[in-house]
Structure formats: C-alpha cells, structure tokens
Amino acid sequence: MGAYTIATSKMEQGNQAQADAVQERERPREQRRERARGNSRGRGGRGDRGGRDRKRDIGRAEWSKNKVDRRTQQTENREAAKRRKLDGKEEEIPIYAVKFSKEEIDAQEKKPKRKVAVMIGYSGSGYKGMQLNHHEKTIEGDLFSAFVAAGAISKANADDPKKSSLVRCARTDKGVHAAGNLISLKLIVEDPDIVAKINEKLSPQIRVWGIERTNGSFNAYNFVDSRIYEYLIPTHSFLPPHPKSFLAKKIVELAEEADDLEGYLSRQAEVANVWAEMEEKYVKPVIAAIDPVIRELALKALYDHDYNMVSADSMPVTEEQKQATREITPQGQFDSVTAAIKIEASHEEAPLFAKKSQIGGTTKDDPDAKPLLEVAAIKHSKVLTPLEIAVRLLKQAHVTAKKAYRIHPARLARVQSVLSRFVGTHKFHNYTVDKSAKDASATRIIKSFNVNSTPIIINDTEWLSLKVHGQSFMMHQIRKMVSMVAFIVRCGCHDGRMQDSFMADRISIPKAPSLGLLLERPVFDAYNERLEQFGHKKIDFGRYEKEMEEFKQREIYERIFREEEKESVFHAFFSALDNTKSAQLLYLSSVGLEATKRRIENEDGGVKKEEGIEDVDSEDDRKGDGEEG
C-alpha cells in the first residue's frame, strides 16, 4: 500500500471518528450512559463483575465524580408532590419542621441569609443520632426547630432544611456524643444575641458554642481536614483474661507450643499475681459461703460459656439452700440480670424479700411477704434458684475486684506503645465491615493516637482517656482499634502482631462498647489558613474550651460513668469474649494467625461448632451506635 493510500485511510478514519463523536453527543443522556456501561462490560473493565452488579463503597474522590443528577431528582420530587395534591393527600412534613400559612410568611420581615458555620456540642443519649430523620428525634432536628423558633430561619424556609443548605461535618449515630461538631447552612444572623436565643430553645443536652460567617462555597463535610475522637475506657479492660477462662488457657497452651512461654510471661510480668490477689480478697469469701451442693456448679457456670445452668424445675429449693443464700448475700442492693428484680438484704435481716415496687405491693413488713427464692421473677416467670443467685453473686464479686484494680505504669506504657502502631497510613479493612485489602477506601491516615498518662478515678473505677486524630474514619473503625489494643495488651501478645491486621488476611476484631466514644472536635486548618486573609474568622473550637469542658463533664462524662456503674458494660464485654470457645481470637497467641484455622474440640472430644465473636459483641451494637467521619 502506498503512502498516499495510507494517508487517505487515516484521514477517513479520523473523519469517521469525528462523525461518531458528534452523533454520540446528540444522543439523549440516558442512552449515552447505557452505551458506556455496555462498552465497559464488553471490555472486561469496571463494568465487568463476573455477571454480578456489586455495589462498592467508594471513596470521596470517586464519589464526587459520579454526582446525582439533582435537576432530575428535584423534578421528580415536584411531580410526586403534585400527584399527592391531586389525590387530595396532605403533604407530610418531618417532625422537626413547621408549615406556616401564606399570611404568616408574608407578614414576616424579610432579612438576608448568610452562609455560616455553627459550632455545636451534644450528648447523644435519648436521640436517634445526629442526622435528620423524618420521624425520629435527632440532634439536627432539635437544632433546626431551635433555629426557626429563634428567628435564625425564616417562616418561609421552616418546612425544609434543604432551603437553608444544611450540611453536617461528621455524622454520629444513636447514643454517641460530641463535645465539638459543626454544621454549615444559611442563617439570619443579624441579631448579636442570636446564639443565646438559639440555646434558650434547646435542651441542656445540646449547646451552640458559636456561629462564624464563611464564604458562600463553604461546606462542612468537604472542607474538614480531620477529626479528633476520644474514647474513655476502664483500666481493668487491660487485665489479662481470668486464668480459668477459655481464652487464657489457650493463650498459655499456644505459648508453650510456640516455645514462647518465657516471652509471654515477661510481657505479663506486672500483672502476674493480680488475679490471685483479687480473688483472695474479693471472690474467695463468696465462694466459701456458697452451699457446697452448688459450689462447683456455680463456678462452672461462671467460667464456661457453653454451660447451661440447672433450671429451677430440676433443682428444688431446700431450707438449707435458702439459709446458705441469705448468709452470702452482700449488704445493700443486688441486681438480678435474669429476673430483672432488685432485692434488699443484710446479715441482720432474713429472709430476703423482693422490693415493693416489683411484686405488687409485697414488702418485708407484710405478714404475707415471701422469701426471695419463692418470688417468681418478673421477666421469665420462674423462681430464682440458689445456683442462679450464687452465679450472680460471683459475677458481682469479680466486678468489685476489677473496679479496685489500678493500672501499673509499665502496663500503661505498653498501652501507649501499641496505640502508636496505628500512626501513619495503613489498610484498615479489618477494622470495618465489607471491605477488602484491595479496596482503596480502606486505606486511612492516623495522625496520632495517645493515652493520657494520668488516669482518673470515678465511682471507685479507674479510667483512661484515649485520643485518636485521623483524616476520616470508617464504620466501627475506632471501636475496633480500641478493642485490638486492649486484646493485644491483656493477652500478652507481641506488639508486632498489629502489623498482621494491616495485611490481606481477614481477621476477626470485636467492636469495643460504644459507651466510651465521643467526637471531640473536627479540624479545619486548611480552610482557616486560606480564608483568614479575606477577613473571615477562623473556625476555632479553642475559643470555647472552658464551656466545652464543663459541658463534657456534666452531660457526657457523667452519663458514661453512670451507665458503666449501673450496667458494667466493659466487664460484660470482655468476660463474654474471654469465655467464648472460638478460634477467631487466637491470632493473639504466640502461634499467630495460624491458630485461627484450628478446630476447637468439646470436652467429649467432638468438634465444637465455631462461634462468631460478633455474636457476643456488646448489646449497644444492636442499638445502632457507632461513629463516622
């Protein structure tokens, strides 16, 4: 083929390509998208997913390239509203919104709206999270109502937060707190007392710290650099598993197998005798007082996760057992988990009686009052047997012993050493849900993770404050990070095992209780540096440090401490996992990841059905708690 022919052919190909491009531009938008999806699947590209259209959790950058067609969405919403109107249906508005009449709207003086950043703090208790919800009580819902009531949002815009361009910086779920969070929206802020007026309309659980003017393009979510979270945890969470628990026995057994027993014992040196000392002081007196008939059964039920306690039907209540129960019952109140009743007792007062409020007016002063062991439990309509009471008393003795624990400086230093392993850029696919090591969005940056070297003592329990500073966090990430640190320290695992969690292998990391989690504040350093030169004030939570600290103590910390005192959330969480017969946590042993692939045998030699550690996660998970940012 000659040079002329080749040149002519290339020219024709170029003209055809140009014509095809013009024709493609003239196609309707939906047809272009469909053709692009078809071509992608045909090439085996991103659209080719082996015949399955999988949803992917993409990162912010990729998400921004695939924005929703808002014009189409708005048109559809308007058409839906017209259909409801034609059908004679009253348009439903959210519980936080107010629909004013046309006369009321026209009568209100028109005032200009300004784009602002609103710095807030809140206790999440009693709220269904931060984010607006059509039918549920939320933090943003109460804020929006307060803005309207204080005149910061006009009556014309009181029925829809979208009219004010409301955007949150970080979402927090049900029950999670924030000392500092931020929303951006358009408000009427001419009144110098507007912050005070808004706070007057809010519950004491929610405070507006300040309102700052921003430029028109400011977006609370897109402009935030990073976030700082705090996690409060009792120091007894770093105690080793009880020596009789399944996890403790397996850790020692595997250390011997790996010829690392000496190394394991050196890593646990500062707590080598702690359980023996605590049991001698707090647990043995209770064990000694339990009726010998049920003593061994009670101990087995306490430490064996699989053990089914003898029911009331198969264990008759004798007078001797009643007397033994009276003698070991501690002075004061005792919560029965199964029975859901409270009893009062002392060594001088016997027999034991249920409280008046829980058994229909029966009190210890009534002639017909019945001993505790004869009172039907409210929740399960069954009699509490001496065995059930003994087990609960033993659990309470362990809780009391743990509360008396004070962390050793060497153990505190180890906590910090393990926390520091998170700093930097790592793959956190094992610290969230439904992500693989290949997923780019699982890679996150942790700027710092530190423990306050000075523990605090509240209600006789010693607490530590952990603070993590990162760009952004995935679902459950912080709680799983805290849990990983706690288990590495308490199991005497080598710090380097943390690195395995960043590798491709999947490992099971339980979620620590959400009780101790709070968002301390978001960080806007880049925005502050860029906008300060144009006369805008910095977004600086430091100006409200005193008010925020007082609020944290009153509305957040005290709630956390009260709930732990009442429910023993952390004790229940770690005890349940220590006694769960599963290989999933055995990567914490000296053998490492290989141990998680082994089968667990029952006492009779049969293979035990593997349990998932998620099955014994804390109850708060099923209430929808968590953190995002």
Residue 229 annotated in ligand binding: yes
Whether residue 280 lies inside any domain: the answer is no
- Average pLDDT of 498-508? 93
The predicted pLDDT at position 6 comes to: 47
Q: 355: pLDDT confidence band, cut at 50, 70 and 90?
A: very low
The predicted pLDDT at position 612 comes to: 57
Q: Give per-residue pLDDT as tens, 433-457.
A: 889 999 999 999 999 999 999 999 9
SS3 318: coil
pTM of the model: 0.73
The predicted pLDDT at position 367 comes to: 45
Q: How many CA atoms lie within 13 A of 569 on its CB side?
A: 21
Q: Domain of 446?
A: 233-272+406-523+580-620
SS3 470: strand
Whether residue 542 lies inside any domain: the answer is no
The predicted pLDDT at position 9 comes to: 53
Q: 299: pLDDT confidence band, cut at 50, 70 and 90?
A: confident
The predicted pLDDT at position 60 comes to: 52
Residues 359, 411, single domain; the answer is no
Residues 207, 254, single domain; the answer is no
In the 8-state DSSP scheme, what is residue 131? S
Residues 301, 219, single domain; the answer is no
577: amino acid identity, one letter: L
pLDDT of residue 350 exceeding 50, the answer is no
In angstroms, the CA 601 to CA 606 distance is: 5
The predicted pLDDT at position 531 comes to: 75
The predicted pLDDT at position 229 comes to: 96
pLDDT of residue 276 exceeding 90, the answer is yes
The predicted pLDDT at position 475 comes to: 87
Whether residue 5 lies inside any domain: the answer is no
Whether residue 283 lies inside any domain: the answer is no
**Token output for 51:** 């015949």
Q: 354: pLDDT confidence band, cut at 50, 70 and 90?
A: very low
Residues 202, 327, single domain; the answer is no
In angstroms, the CA 449 to CA 576 distance is: 27
- Residue 464 pairs in a beta bridge with 233
pLDDT of residue 55 exceeding 80, the answer is no
- Average pLDDT of 297-303? 81
Nearest to 111 by CA among 188, 225, 57, 26: 188
Number of domains in the chain: 3
Q: 34: pLDDT confidence band, cut at 50, 70 and 90?
A: low
Q: Is the peptide bond before 351 cis (omega within 30 degrees of 0)?
A: yes
Distance of CA 593 to the CA centre of its chain: 26
The answer to whether residues 178 and 547 touch, using CB atoms and an 8 Å cutoff, is: no
The predicted pLDDT at position 77 comes to: 65
**Token output for 216:** 């028109």
> Active site residue: 173, 260, 578, 617, which one?
173
Active site residue 173: yes
Distance of CA 236 to the CA centre of its chain: 20
Q: Give per-residue pLDDT as tens, 541-570.
A: 999 999 999 999 999 999 999 999 999 999
Whether residue 36 lies inside any domain: the answer is no
The predicted pLDDT at position 215 comes to: 86
Identify the CATH number of the domain in which residue 143 sits. Answer: 3.30.70.580
**Token output for 287:** 């064990």
- Average pLDDT of 338-357? 30
More confident residue, 350 or 576: 576
Average pLDDT score, the chain = 78
Whether residue 63 lies inside any domain: the answer is no
Q: Give per-residue pLDDT as tens, 567-626.
A: 999 999 999 999 988 999 999 999 999 999 888 765 555 555 555 565 445 444 433 334
SS3 472: coil
Most confidently modeled of 115-119, 369-373, 524-528? 115-119
Q: 126: pLDDT confidence band, cut at 50, 70 and 90?
A: confident
Distance of CA 14 to the CA centre of its chain: 58
Whether residue 160 lies inside any domain: the answer is yes
